[in-house]
Chains A and B, each alone.
Chain A
Amino acid sequence: MDKAKTKKQYNSNTILLFITIALFIVLYAGGCVAYGSKGFTHFQTFLNILITNAGLICVTCGMTCVMLTGGIDISVGALIAMDCMLLAVGMKNGMGAVPMIIIILLIGAVFGIFQGFLVGYLEIQPFIVSMAGMFFCRGMTAVICTDQVSITQEISPTFYAWANAKIVLPFGGYTNNKGKYMAPYVRPAVIVALLVLVVIFILLRYTKFGRSLYAVGGSEQSAAMMGLNVKMIKMKAYMLSSFLCSIGGICYCLNTMAGSVSQATGLEMDAISSAVIGGTLLTGGVGNVIGSFFGVLINGTISSIVKTNGKLASSWPNILTAMLLFIFIVIQSIFAAIRERKKA
């Protein structure tokens, strides 16, 4: 009789997810205690984290899918810059917001198929492929326009309206010191990001494609032996990543309302670190988007705390994120070691 049968045991990955969620709660609660007087306890603070990071949530969902196969996609930050620049310049030249969005989503998908083809079918290292993709996108952004292009109300009233639309929530408001009721709100980008999250969650858990991502990441050779089309699966993963990145790019642009060459630099690293903090293994096969979502929230909370404090240098979020990453990697390897020992 195997030990596993006698006692229902929690998967170590589930425990990792709990740790991530617990950490978020602790961090957030810590923020509330320390900066309650500065308004950290308001529900809107939490919603602001979502608003600021709507784009990152989409990107991290895509990154998680790619990382599940054991790959990586570092082109996402540059792709977002290119998306924003295209949006800004396109609309400035009289294109409508809706056609531009369709074009950008198409570009994302095609770009992803190309990267995925190189990784899946030509079996080139994903790091190299997406690094080339990163240089390409960043370069193209500058080719389109080297100046910062702002999206104003005159350029595109529609896009402007989306960016400034408030979706008011019926709960969680507060009355400010002037006695005025402040209703909590989110932006449309948040709704998009949460939709993406739900869709990818279902995709990963309940569809053939989703499960095959895990299989490929678990053991590529085995997946092939079991009759899965590994090359196609990998290609689709990169397509999904770039496509979700383009959705994220639109959300990002709704926040910044501008296109500029240096936009979203290092965003790919934010996405990777969020996924890792959320329990996704770089080696593939382990992880899920709920964890990644909380990874984004943890990073967002850190920034928010530092911002609320007001006195700390803006480089502090980086240092805190580094420490968190470190802690998580150590925890993960401890779990892996425990698992090995159990087997032996």
Chain B
Amino acid sequence: MENNVVLRARGISMTFPGVKALDNVQLTLRKGEIHALMGENGAGKSTLIKCLTGINDFEAGEIHIDGINGTIKNHSTRDAQNVGISTVYQEVNLCPNLSVAENLFIGREPLTKLHTIDRKSYNSRSQKIMDELGISVDVTQNLENYSLAIQQMVAIARAVDMECKVLILDEPTSSLDDEEVEKLFKLMRKLKEKGVGILFVTHFLEQVYAVCDRITVLRNGTFVGEYPISELPRVKLVAAMMGKYLNDLESIHKENKDFTNAPMEISAKGLSHTGTVKPFDLDIHKGEVVGVAGLLGSGRSELARAIYGADKANTGTLEVDGKPVKINQPIDAMNKGMGMLPDDRKAEGIIADLSVRENIILALQAKRGMFKLLSRAKQEEIADRYIDLVQIKTASRETLIKQLSGGNQQKVILARWLATDPDFLILDEPTRGIDIGTKSEIQKLIIKLAGEGKSVLFISSEIEEMLRTSNRMIIMRDGEKVGELDRELSQEGVMHAIAGGEG
């Protein structure tokens, strides 16, 4: 091995049932460098890390570690720690009810002659470790008294004190604020000076350019390349991560159709819900995609909830398909051919311990009523059709939904509503937190649905994606519908409308 390399993985391959998760992937980590591991959701970052730390059992390939002859294969986190690979995960894996010092030393406490633990000694040693790393804490205090950032740093301090050569940081910054991230970076740079090889996984591009020296990019379980940071500007990095998707996104174009004469699907007059959304009028034609723009908390979701009956409207009337309807609760809306994808999909959307099939048929079953059970064969047929239609990447229709990536979970929920064959679909932030590839697929699907004559109300924080898919946009501000834009939709125009015109 080159003398400055601490970890080298070659030809790592690994298959999950039905999915090739890693295919001939390589990684070279040098002493004293911060190395970013980049890739979209499902690119294989986590799988690779789990191979290095002994959680996953890879099928082919070899891993070398500096100072150890021959290849190594870890079978547990403990094995990995013994050869000098420590990992700090997104969720802090420490005990909040123990003191900082105990968290640093538990399992390897110094003992007194009487074989009791030597509190004095480990408290002073802990304080020294933390002082050296520039983390100001009182080590005798319980961990739960400190912020998440400090807890994260204690986890890193523990890893470092166990004399690790390789430190893997798996999205450690996702729950930290800017100031805390900066503290963490300071610590990372300090460790880098000490010669630790740091593998840094993150979703935030700015952070990569702020601390990293080198980047390894994975895509779809394969190795794309390893680049020094100076040779890979952002645009190229994004292109490397997404491959073909970038062109895909460009190619999404809606037709500019005139809907003024199309039949009406939804027609709301003076609908409101006290405290959340002021009275609004809204017409949506058949086959039309209407975007809802506005800042977070502007009443975007609340507008949709009032239509759908999730918040019962206090005033106003609603016509569906030209007929006046009374909607008291979501099931009424469902029976009138509406479907709604809520924005908080963890809390309101997926049921983690049910299979993909069960999650898909859920809304359809609810619509039919408890006592008209769908036959198993029918369920399977529906599930297969929609897995195919929205291209859910899953090993089988019986896979538990919690085993799917975030983007695929989102697609399952979308499939759930499509299965009810709605005429009017409300999508609240359907693309949040999923990678660009899946985003483009969902956007394409929206356009396709509209082409089939379905109407869509599309809520998103990304104006760009609404511009690509919507025929018309309504603007929300402070719980009030303040405008409608059709024709000449432009990012600038929408921003101005959201901000309030005057400026």
List the interface of chain A (C-beta within 8 A of B).
1-2, 4-5, 9, 11, 202, 206-208, 211-212, 214-215, 217-219, 221-228, 285-286, 339, 342-343
Contacts and interface: CB of A to CB of B under 8 A. Distances in A.
B107 A226 contact: yes
B115 A207 contact: yes
A1 B150 CA distance: 11
Given A207-B115, A208-B109, A221 B93 contact: yes
B115 A219 contact: no
B170 interface: no
B144 A225 contact: no
22 contacts: A2-B145, A2-B147, A4-B146, A9-B145, A202-B116, A206-B116, A207-B117, A208-B111, A211-B117, A214-B97, A215-B98, A217-B97, A218-B97, A219-B93, A219-B94, A219-B96, A222-B92, A222-B93, A222-B95, A226-B158, A227-B77, A339-B145
B20 interface: no
Interface string B86-107: 0000001111111000110011
Interface stretch (B134-142, B253-261, B321-329, B420-428): B134-142
B110 to A, nearest CB: 10
A215 to B, nearest CB: 5
Given A211-B109, A219-B95, A227 B136 contact: no
Given A11-B142, A222-B92, A227-B78, 12 more contacts: A2-B136, A4-B137, A4-B146, A5-B138, A9-B145, A207-B116, A215-B98, A222-B95, A226-B93, A227-B81, A227-B107, A343-B144
A218 B115 CA distance: 24
B115 A285 contact: no
B147 A343 contact: yes
Given A5-B138, A207-B117, A214 B95 contact: yes
B117 A208 contact: yes
B32 to A, nearest CB: 26
Contact of B98 (A2, A9, A202, A218): A218
Instruction: Identify whether the interface residues of B are mostly helix, strand, loop, or mixed.
Output: loop
Interface in B327-358: none
Contact of B150 (A2, A207, A212): A2
B80 to A, nearest CB: 11
B97 A286 contact: yes
Interface in B107-129: 107-109, 111, 115-117, 119
A285 B141 CA distance: 15
Nearest to A202: B116
Contact of B138 (A4, A214, A223): A4
A1 B96 contact: no
Q: Which 9 A-B pairs have the closest CB atoms?
A: A218-B95, A206-B116, A218-B97, A285-B97, A225-B93, A222-B93, A227-B107, A215-B95, A4-B145
B115 A215 contact: no
Given A211-B109, A225-B77, A228-B106, A218 B96 contact: yes
Nearest to B100: A4
B182 to A, nearest CB: 15
B107 A212 contact: yes
Contacts of A11: 142
Nearest to A228: B107
B419 to A, nearest CB: 36
Contacts of B81: 227
Given A207-B116, A211-B117, A226 B106 contact: yes
Contacts of A206: 116-117, 119
A32 B109 CA distance: 47
A17 B185 CA distance: 40
A212 B106 CA distance: 7
